[in-house]
Amino acid sequence: MASLHPSPPPPHFEPVASAPALAEQIIGGSLAHAEMVEQLRRIAACEVPALIEGETGSGKELIARAIHYGGPRRSGPFVPVNCGALPETLIESELFGHERGAFTDARRARAGLVTEARGGTLFLDEVDALSPKAQVTLLRFLQDQRYRPLGTARELATDVRLVAAANRPLEGLVAGAAFRADLMYRLKVLYLVLPPLREREGDAERLALHFIESFAAKYGIARKALHPDTVQWMRRYDWPGNVRELENWVHREFLMCTGATICHTGSAGAPALQPGNGEDDALKCFQHAKAEAVRRFEREYLRRALAHSAGNVTQAARLAGKERRAFGKLLKKHGLAPELATGGDGALG
């Protein structure tokens, strides 16, 4: 449920108004990032409704805060609303407030979010998740920013800037009759599409180093470096969860890595250490070297077990002392399922 209290500016993002200042606070150096920041600067200078679209984890709320704190309403409140968490039966109460006794659980009067946001910005996150009824309610409010709290006949007015964000393109939802076209046009006066991390060349490494600095300060731990092979892996990986996925990955690796270098040790797309450049690279990262040794052992053991059982997965699993399902997962992990476990009992399903 969205908070009913205005959110203070985050400590790492001060009110700004110029493109250079925005660029310093929103990490990135790619061309796609630079173009996005330039659009952001122009949008922040206005007070009309704005729509931000982007994949999950691409930083839509951070951009919405940048629009607010970089614009003329920076001294007013920034009130975020998670539309996906608003029950349809409470949408009017949450947005517009209610009088005591307006419904069964209304034991006292309560101001709505549009009242809390007066003079500032109302940020509607996941607006694409609004139900048809909620869309009508919002559309009616956007026409003149007038509303009635539940349980009263008096009409009130507010003054907010509306910024909305969607995980899915609203035009596609309109085409599929899942979103009202008139509401989309009300929200989409200004429009910003956030580039996914996979299209921001070099920004994954820049962001990772920024997160390392932040976690080092937060936990009082010395900064750690990124292994060169890990950097190469980061450049190849698609990051389907975008910046949020990257931040969580760095957070986990920073805390779990026992050395001074962060190495990617996952099974999918893990970079291989290549010794032989004068110094044994495997010695630079014990954690990575150990993971690579385990991976090679597992793959060779599975190949031998399948060869001994003539490709029969059930027999190979019994020979290895593992359940068939667990053994099958190991085969898939190492890409051996289609290569060796074929025919008869070998199909993994």
Of residues 97 and 249, more confidence is placed in 249
Of 47 and 18, more confident: 47
pLDDT band at 14 (very low <50, low <70, confident <90, very high): very low
Phi, psi of 79 (to 5 degrees): -115, 105
**3-state DSSP call for residue 161?**
strand
Mean pLDDT across 98-110: 58
What pLDDT, on a 0 to 100 scale, did the predictor assign at position 252? 93
Top mean pLDDT of 147-161, 172-186, 255-269 is at 172-186
**Structure tokens that stand for 179 in this block:** 């979103």
Question: Which tokens in the block code for residue 70?
Answer: 């970089």
C-alpha distances out from residue 278 to 197, 236, 275, Å: 35, 26, 8
How does the average pLDDT of the chain come out, rounded?
80
Could you tell me the pLDDT band of residue 269, with boundaries at 50, 70 and 90?
A: very low
Q: Is the pLDDT of residue 340 over 50?
A: no
Structure confidence by residue, pLDDT tens digits, 272-313: 444 334 344 444 556 566 666 777 788 888 888 888 888 888
CB-based contact 267:295 (threshold 8 Å): yes
Domain ranges (residues) in the chain: 19-195, 198-264
pLDDT: is 321 or 13 the higher one? Answer: 321
Does 85 score more than 50 pLDDT? Answer: yes
Residues in a beta bridge with 191: 51
For residues 117 and 6, the answer to whether their CB atoms sit within 8 Å is yes
- In this model, does residue 68 exceed pLDDT 70? yes
The fraction of the chain above a pLDDT of 70, given in percent, is 77
Asked whether the beta carbons of 287 and 257 are under 8 A apart, the reply is yes
With beta carbons less than 8 A apart as the criterion, state whether 110 and 90 touch.
Answer: no
Q: Where are the alpha helices (DSSP H) in the chain?
A: 19-25, 31-44, 60-69, 91-96, 113-116, 132-144, 170-175, 181-187, 203-219, 228-236, 242-256, 286-308, 313-320, 324-333, 337-340
Q: Would strands 225-226 and 261-262 be described as parallel, antiparallel, or unpaired?
A: parallel
Rounded Cα distance, 246 and 222, in Å: 20
Topology of the domain comprising 19-195? Rossmann fold (3.40.50)
pLDDT value for 297: 84
In a 13 Å sphere around the CA of 343, the CA atoms on its Cβ side amount to 7
Q: Which residue has the tokens 């044994």?
A: 280
CB-CB neighbours of 322 under 10 Å = 15
Whether the predicted pLDDT of 168 surpasses 90: yes
What pLDDT digit, counting tens, does each position of 304-320 carry? 888 888 888 888 888 88
Q: Residue 4: is its pLDDT beyond 80?
A: no
Mean pLDDT is lowest, of 37-51, 54-68, 224-238, 296-310, for 296-310
Partners of 161 in the β-ladder: 121
Q: Tokens 């979010």 — which residue?
A: 113
304 vs 67, higher pLDDT:
67
Least confident of 36-40, 221-225, 263-267: 263-267
Least confident of 132-141, 198-207, 259-268, 314-323: 259-268
Taking only the tens place, the pLDDT of each residue in 224-258 is 999 998 999 999 999 999 999 999 999 999 998 88
Instruction: Give the tens place of pLDDT for each residue, 189-219.
Output: 999 999 999 999 999 999 999 999 999 999 9
- Residue 182's CB: how many other CB atoms inside 10 A? 12
CA 73 from centre of chain = 26
Q: Answer whether residue 148 shows pLDDT above 50.
A: yes
| CATH hierarchy code of domain 198-264 | 1.10.8.60
Q: Are 301 and 320 in contact (CB under 8 A)?
A: yes
